[in-house]
Amino acid sequence: MTEMKDIQDICKQVDERQDELTKLLKTLIMYKTPAPPARNTNEAQQFVATFLNNQEFSIDKWEIYPGDPNVVGYLKGLDSQNYKSLIINGHMDVAEVSTDENWEKDPFTPIVRDGYIIGRGAADMKGGMAGALFAIQLLKENRMELPGDLTFQSVIGEEVGEAGTLQACKRNGGAEADFAVVVDTSDLHIQGQGGVITGWITIKSEKTFHDAMRSKMIHAGGNVLGASAIEKMMKIIEGLQELERHWAVTKSYPGYPAGTNTINPAVIEGGRHAAFIADECRLWITVHFYPNETHEQVAQEIEEYILNVAKGDLWLKDNLPTFTWGGTSMIEDKGEIFPSLEIDPEQEGVQLLAGVHEKVSGERAILDVSPTVTDGGWLGEEGIPTVIYGPGDLQNAHSVNEQVLIEQLIQYTKTLVQFIFEWTNTKKIKIRREATNLNRGDWDEI
C-alpha cells in the first residue's frame, strides 16, 4: 500500500511539474525531423539517448540510414526472471511540412495557446514520446524500483514506411517482452489496427512497336498481335475494383465501417514516348486490410484474382502481369509494409492498462481500432502483446498548426507512471509443463 501511495504522490507531481513536461515536448518539437526528406533525426535521437542514460538506462544507438539512427534504452529490472517486462515504443520522425502551409508560426517553433501545444509532431507523436520519457524520469527520481525490465525504443522512419521498429526487433537476436505500448496518436484509446501493404503490378510486352503499327493491331486484317500495356492495365484496374467490391461484401471487422479494406490504384507509369506503342506499364497500389488478416494473405488473394483476369484476355494470357510487394522505404524503394495488429481485450496487459486509465481519468477505457497504421504490427509479429495508446488525435496529426491538449498530455503521463510501475511489479505466472520427454520439475513462464 505504501508503494501505491508513492505512485499517487508521483502522479500529483505531474500536475505540479507540468511546465517541465511541456518544456520537454517543446524541446522534442524543436528538433526538425520531418520525413520526407528524413535523414535528420541524429540530434533528436542523441537527446533521447542522453536523457535515458541519465535515468540509468544502457543505450544502443545505431544508424539505419545516414543521419537516421535508432535508439533503444534498456533498464534491467531488479528481478527480471520473475517479473513482467515492458517495451515502450515511439518514432522520432514527423510528417513532412510544405513551404506553402499556413502555419501560425514556424512549425518547429512550438507555442502554447489556449491550453494546447502547437507544432509539428505535437500530436504525431512527440507528445507521446514526451509523456513516456517524463514518466520514466519521475519514477527514477522518486526511487521507484522496477523488478521487471523496461525497454524504450525511439525509432526512425515510421512516416515513410522505413520500419525502424522492425530493425529494433531484429537487433541482437530479436525483441522480447511481456507487453508493449506504442505511444502513437490514439486520443487515449487503447487500439489495435489494420495493416497496409503497397505493391507494383507490371505489364510488359516482349515486343516493341512503332506507334504507326497501332492500326494493324486494332483493325480487322492487321495481322499484328500486339497491345498497348497502358490499355491492358485498364483491365487490371477494373479487376482490382471488382475484388475491392467483393471484399467489401464478404469481409468485415468490428469497429470498422464496411468497405474499409481498400485497393487504391495510386500511381501509374507507362510508355516510352509518343512514337512508341507502350510496351510497359506499372501500377503502384496501396492495400488496406483488417487486423485479422496478414499482408502475405491479401497479396496472395490479389495475385490469384488478377492472374485469373489476365488469363481471360487474349493478349494478357501470354504476357501475364508480375507483382512486387512491400518494400523497406517509400523514399528508397517506393514500398512499405505495416503489419496489422489485433488486440485481445482479456490479455493481462490490456486489462491493467485499461484499469489504470480508468483510475486516472475517471472514465472507462475505450478499446477499439485505429483507422490508420503504426509500427505496432511489427511488435505484434514478434509475438509481443501490443497496443497503441497515446495522446493527440488524428484530426491534428499531419495537420497545419498540429496541436495536442496539455490536459490530455498530463493525464496520459500519469497513466504511464502508474502502468509502468504496476506492470513491471507484476509477477510472472509459472505453470508446470507436462510431457513425456521433460523432467517433472520443468516450468514455463507466462
Q: Which entry of 158, 159, 162, 187 is annotated as an active-site residue? A: 158
The H-assigned helical ranges of 184-228 are 214-218
Q: Which entry of 93, 159, 184, 187 is annotated as an active-site residue? A: 93
Q: How far is CA 69 from the centre of its chain?
A: 17
Q: How far is CA 264 from CA 212, 284, 288, 325, in A?
A: 34, 8, 8, 14
At 258, list the grid cell.
464496411
Give yes or no: 93 in active site.
yes
Distance CA(165)–CA(175), nearest Å, equals 10
Q: How far apart are the first and last CA of the chain?
A: 26
Q: How far is CA 438 from the centre of its chain?
A: 40
Distance CA(389)–CA(352), nearest Å, equals 13
Question: Which 8-state DSSP code applies to residue 341?
Answer: B
Q: What pairing do the DSSP bridges indicate for beta strands 443-445 and 430-432?
A: antiparallel
Distance CA(179)–CA(321), nearest Å, equals 42
Identify which of 21, 28, 50 has the alpha carbon closest to the alpha carbon of residue 417: 21
Q: How far is CA 325 from the centre of its chain?
A: 18
Write out the catalytic residue numbers.
93, 158
